[in-house]
Structures are given as structure tokens and as C-alpha cells.
A and B are shown apart, each in its own frame.
Chain A
Amino acid sequence: MRPVFIAGTGLACALGGDLPDCIAALLRGGVPLVAVTAAEGFDWPVFQLPRGDGDWATQARAHVRRVAAECGALATSRTAPLFVASSSLDIGEREQDASFPVDLQDFADVVAGWIDWRGPVYTVSTACTSSVNAMLAASDLIRHGEAANALVLGIELPNRYTLAGFGAMQLLSPDAARPFGAARNGLVLGEAVAASWLTSEAARWRVRGGANVVDGRNPAGTEAGAVDAMCSQALSQAGLAPSDVDLVKPQAAGSVTNDAIELDALRTVFGNALPPMVSFKAQIGHTLGAAGVAEIALLARCIEARAWPALGYALDPACEVALNQGAPARLRYILFNTIGFGGGHTALVLEDCSR
């Protein structure tokens, strides 16, 4: 089977409209949250994409074109498979004109049109694990020689629906995202458009393995057994042992309960020798279906630029975790976890082939 590499990434999120802007903002200490009204009398903070001119679709198209260009995909024949990963799709645009989605594939087709894409177009919608599941599917195509490249776009655009839904479920923080924090009190949503251009040709970042485990017993939270299973399966596919992992990017969105369950499960995988961890959710929020490719893009660029997110809040001493303490001296293998609504648990093993 062919190896799978990440040839390029692109990102627009609250930190900025492209990766250089994102890194610059990260080094400046981040950007402020914006209070958004989800329903009458209900405001929550959100990490918003930079706003530009034009209506919802005009701004969405601009972000998609920019990140697709940034990852290098637009400099190709544009005939590779395209995966559009999102939990909210175009519901934000429909809120503008009170229309109703009748075909969930329509948005991916529109996105393909925005970038003049001529390859097959897929939608992946598995909540917060959407873009990692899209990467796993794209990797299947490349590994088995069905495609030489694939473009994965993770897209979560402005809308009230998601914010209202998460708010109704009492999952949102009223002030800040603090993964593993002593004062963590919920997650903060973030908007993002992110890209990952996958290839079979050697590049710095390799997707060594991955796994997706859906455990429906707890459709709104993290299941320890599923965390263990996803990590073990991903490492097995990568041909690695837990002791090979140099860095973990956990899900850890700032939930009092789910952060603790995830950490306990990671201790089952790694024992008490937990690798150092890194998180970006305090800087960009939980970008839901885009989170996988958004955080991969940010992490890879941080490592390449020798930048690192600051912590900025007190960790929960009970967690006993080394989070955002700087890049580890040895950094070759990364375990990258995302967990989502609907019992979805996904893990990727990334390799920095320059090490």
C-alpha cells in the first residue's frame, strides 16, 4: 500500500485568514472572543473568523478559495477527490433567508464550484470528527492507489443554529476555553475553514495511521473505552507503540467531565508516563467538523515555525498534565485525537519525516 503524506495545509480561523497571520496572532497572545446572540437573552463567546465584505456566501467563498490555494491544491488539475467535512454545512446562509436544507450534498457541490473543482465530491458529517473521518477516507483512496491526491476541507462557518444547540445542551463556557484547566467550565465554539492536501508523494508530514470508533452508549460525551480503542488501533496501524509517541494533541475542549475522562483513558494507553500535550482550543475554540484539519494545520505550522501556543490559565492540578509547555526536544510522532457528538472518537498518528 502507498504511504499518505500531507503536502500542504491552509487555515482561516479567529487567529487570521491564513497560516502566517494565524501564527503571528498566536505569538501575540491570541485574539479576543466575540459575544454572539444565539437566541433572545442567550449570548455566548465565539472565536469568529475575520469578517470581510459581502454576504455570507461571498465571505465563505473567499475563505475557501484562500485556504485551498494556501494548501497548494489550486495549483493542480483540480481533479482529485474533494472531501467537504462539516457539521453545520450552509445552515448559516439559510438562516439569512429562512430557507431549509433539502439536500445535504448541495453545499459540498457549491464549495467545489467556488474553487472550480472537477474531481469527485464527497460530504462527511460526523460532528466534531468530520474532518478526521474525511482524512481517513481520503487516505484509504491514496493507500489503495485509487487516487494520487485528495483535498480535505473542514468548514464551520458563522451560524446561530450550532451555538444555540450547544447552548441548549449547557455545554458552553460563558467566558473562555480552558482545556484541562482548574476553572474549566465548558467549551467555546470557533469558526474555521481549513484544508489538508494529501498525497502519495513524500513530504514532511506523513499520516502513519488512524482509527475511528463510534461508541453510541454516550451520544453526548467521551467514553474511556473508545478513547483507548481509537488510540490503540491508530498506533497499531502506524506500527508504533505508545512509548514512541512524542506529543499528544488531545480533544480536551474544556469540559469538566469529558476532559477528565479523556485523560484517564490516555493514562490507560500510556500509563503514568503521559507524553507532553498541546492544545489550540484556548486560542481558536472548538471548530467542530473543521477541528481536525484546522488543528493539524496549526500544529504543523507551529512546529515548522518553532512557535508554540501559550497556556494562559491555571491547569487543574488533579490532571497532572504537561500542556503547552513548549515543543518537546524529540518530536517525531504525534497522536492527534478528536472526539465528538454522537460518540465519535478518532485518532491520527502523524509523523514529522524531517526528524
Chain B
Amino acid sequence: MTAWQCVAHVVADPPATDWRDALARRLGERPRRIGLWAELAIHGARACLDAAGEEVLPADARLRVAGFSGAMSATRAATQQGARGLLPMPFGFMQSQPSQMLAAVGASLGWCGDASFMLGRDAPALVRLAQLGAASGGVLFGRVEEMEEEGAVRLRTEWWRFVPVPPRGSRSPG
């Protein structure tokens, strides 16, 4: 059975007030055509990889994202358009889908691979599920929330980078 170690853990609860500008500086451009929730996910994922000292996520790594809120503001906007008898704006509808967040995170990291959005009430079980069967590239796991509290939007992004513990007796390269 694979043993795992957490090599980086970042949490922004809430993110700094200038987090979107900081992300744009880090990426070299402002993310386009994505919603707030996806942008928040990118912010956390990029920060976690930076904390782990990794510029890129290995191709055989897993990306797993949870978040009970989903893309709250995009979903609300699109459903309100529907309630008024209108079709949603295409990008608004896309931004309400968790799969679009996965695409945005992958694209921002220049990475293609096994990415999924999964939820469960037992957070440790969800992490363990993400690790089961993961390859040597490990797991980048995030929880991203865009919650509405007392009329205001509360943002939270928390990420972990897990890698397998090398088998005892194995040598590190170099």
C-alpha cells in the first residue's frame, strides 16, 4: 500500500484583497472567460504548486477538486435568466459547470490529465479516495468555496499537494 506525504498545504480564507491581481501577475495574464469560482481554484492550485516548489504538475498526477458551493454566482446568474424566461448567456452557463473549472485549472497549469470534481461529507475519505490508485505524480487536491453569507460572498480556497513516500531503501535521483 502506498504511503503519502503532504509536501504543501495552502489556505486562503479569505484570499488577500488583491488576489486576482496577484494571480494575473503570477500567470502573466488575467484569466479570461472563466467565472469567479474557477479563478479562485486556479489561485489556490497555483499557490499550492508554488509552495511545493513545482512549476508544473506531472502528467501522471491527479487533480481532485471539491467544493459544496460550486460556482455559486455563475449558477445563480444563469438560473435567474432562466426564471425570467430567457436562455442563459453561453459563457455564464459554462461557468456554472464544475467541469469548466477543471478545464480552467488544467489549462492555467499547462497540464492535461486525470481531473475530477467529487464531493463527500467525510473529507479524509475523499482525500483517501483521490490517493487510491494514483501514480507517482501524486495528487493535487483542492477545496474551493464561493459561499453566500448574510448577503455577501465569502471565498475560500484550500489546497494540498500529496506525493507518494519513496519505498524504504530507494535513492533519490542525483
| Interface positions of A (Cβ within 8 A of B) | 38-40, 42, 87, 91, 94-95, 98, 100-105, 108-109, 120-127, 129, 133, 137, 140-141, 143-144, 146, 160-161, 164-165, 167-170, 211-217, 219-220, 225-226, 229, 340-344
Contacts and interface: CB of A to CB of B under 8 A. Distances in A.
A101 B115 CA distance: 24
Nearest to A109: B121
* Complex A-B, nearest 6 residue pairs according to Cβ-Cβ distance, in ascending order: A342-B99, A216-B103, A216-B107, A165-B93, A216-B106, A127-B99
B38 to A, nearest CB: 10
Given A137-B118, A341-B100, A214 B82 contact: no
Given A165-B78, A168-B89, A169-B94, A143 B116 contact: no
Interface stretch (B19-27, B69-77, B150-158, B161-169): B69-77
Given A126-B116, A168-B93, 19 more contacts: A101-B70, A103-B69, A104-B68, A105-B68, A105-B121, A124-B116, A126-B99, A129-B99, A143-B133, A160-B82, A165-B78, A165-B87, A165-B93, A214-B63, A215-B106, A216-B108, A219-B94, A342-B101, A343-B106
B93 A219 contact: no
A160 B103 CA distance: 25
A100 to B, nearest CB: 6
A303 to B, nearest CB: 28
A64 B135 CA distance: 35
B100 to A, nearest CB: 5
Given A122-B119, A161-B78, A168 B99 contact: no
Contact of A123 (B79, B89, B108, B119): B119
Nearest to B120: A122
B81 to A, nearest CB: 8
Q: Which of A38, A123, A168, A170 has the most CB of B within 10 A?
A: A168
B88 A168 contact: yes
